[in-house]
Amino acid sequence: MNIVVYVKAMVDPDKASDDLTLVSEPAKNGTAVILNPYDKNAIEVALQLKEKYTGEVTAVSFGGDIETEKVLREALSLGCDHAFKVNDEGYESLDAFSPMLGSVLGKVPVADVSYFITGREAADDNQSIIGASIAAAVDADFVDNVDEIEFLENHSLKLVSRWDQSELSGIYEKTPLVISVTDTINTPRLPSFKAKMQAKKAKLDEVKVSDLTDLDLTQLNNLREKVDSTGVFEPEVINKENIIYDLEQDEQAVDKLMDNLKEKGIL
């Protein structure tokens, strides 16, 4: 019974909006690259599965060298046993708008996997499609937006999926199972200093997209040609005409605000 957890390197949203070129060239500034925050919760679930049951945790990351290495070492420092780099070979844009990345990730050679864990979404693309496509690639059921997990006897899991307006709870016995988790499911652990130092030296496994046999690259290329992202831009700043009172200068600030809101019919 092994566990795979998928981790994504992304540019820190605050840094991305300061320098839009980072979005297409994250490696330009290694310090701007962070582990997708949702993936920290996914790693935590993977480690808990290992601790409650058995098996080893492999972290898998797709992308350019510098970025994947950084987040995989972070995953190792948190307690993952192995790390697998999937070299994008110029397929970097395939991940965002099609299920093809899931097809690639599902093919990464890790033996005897019972659980595939991902974060609910990547905080850069905000697509939330990866879990479903991994599930299709490995022919497993998919439980998404898992917000509560309980480890039962005989390797069965009680999971609660929580969406905006509804929830579904149930007991899942069948494996393999693909699970995507929310960022409110747990509080991720922090790495120890020693673990960080060890992770720096650890060996990473590596595979290229073209090494993955039984992957239909024609299909992959076809789909890629049809969807093109012409880039990111900053949202329009609505320069609001606002009325700001200062409590230190004006004792009546609160009264004035409330009067104003009432006068305008807002309150």
Partner 1 sequence: MNNQTVYLCATTDDQSEVEALQKVVQESFSTASITVVAFQSEALDQTKFQASFDQNVDAITFLNVEKLSVLDPNAVAKAYNQYFQKNDAGRIIFYANRFNNGIAARVAASNLSAIVTDVEKIEATDDHLNLVKKSYSGALKRQITVTDAAPLIITVNNSNITLEKVAAKETAVTEETLSIDYQVPKTAVYKSLVDNDNLNLDNAEVVVAGGRGLKGAEEFKNLEKLAENLSAAVGASRPVVDNGWVPNTLMVGQSGKSIEPDIYFAFGISGAVQHTVGIENVKTIVAINSDEKAPIFKIADYGIVGDAKEVIEKMTEITAQK
Ligand X SMILES: Cc1cc2nc3c(=O)[nH]c(=O)nc-3n(C[C@H](O)[C@H](O)[C@H](O)COP(=O)(O)OP(=O)(O)OC[C@H]3O[C@@H](n4cnc5c(N)ncnc54)[C@H](O)[C@@H]3O)c2cc1C
Residue from the set 61, 68, 77, 182 that interacts with partner 1 by CB under 8 A:
182
DSSP helix/strand/coil, 164: coil
Beta-strand pair 2-6/57-63: parallel
**Is residue 103 a contact residue for partner 1 (CB under 8 A)?**
yes
**Rounded CA gap, 17 and 2, in Å?**
39
Give me the residue whose beta carbon is nearest to ligand X: 37
Residues 161-190 contacting ligand X, CB under 6 A: 183
- Is residue 250 helix, strand or coil? coil
- Please list every residue from 35 through 94 that binds ligand X, using CB under 6 A: 37
Nearer to ligand X, 119 or 176 (CB): 119
One-letter amino acid of 203: K
266 near partner 1, rule: CB under 8 A:
yes
Q: Closest distance between partner 1 and the C-beta of residue 132, in Å? A: 4
Q: Residue 137, Cβ neighbours under 10 Å: how many?
A: 21
Residue 263 CB, nearest approach to partner 1 (Å): 12
CB 144 within 8 A of CB 163: no
**Residue 99 · residue 129 · CB < 8 Å:** yes
Q: How far is the CB of 14 from ligand X (least distance, A)?
A: 9
Contact 108, 214 (CB under 8 A): no
Cα distance from N-terminal residue to C-terminal residue, the chain: 59
The nearest distance, CB 54 to ligand X, in angstroms, is: 31
Shortest distance, position 204 Cβ to partner 1, whole Å = 27
Q: Other CB atoms closer than 10 Å to residue 56's CB: what's the count?
A: 16
Q: Which of 71, 80, 129, 199 binds partner 1 (CB under 8 A)?
A: 129
Question: Does the protein bind partner 1 through residue 218 (CB under 8 A)?
Answer: no
DSSP secondary structure, 101-133, as one string: HHHHHHTS--SSEEEEEEES--TTT----HHHH
Residue number with CB closer to partner 1 (64 or 102): 102
Nearer to partner 1, 195 or 257 (CB): 257
| Binds partner 1 by CB under 8 A, chosen from 111, 112, 242, 263 | 242
Binders of ligand X among 118-157, rule CB under 6 A? 123
Instruction: List contacts with ligand X (CB under 6 A).
Output: 37, 123, 183
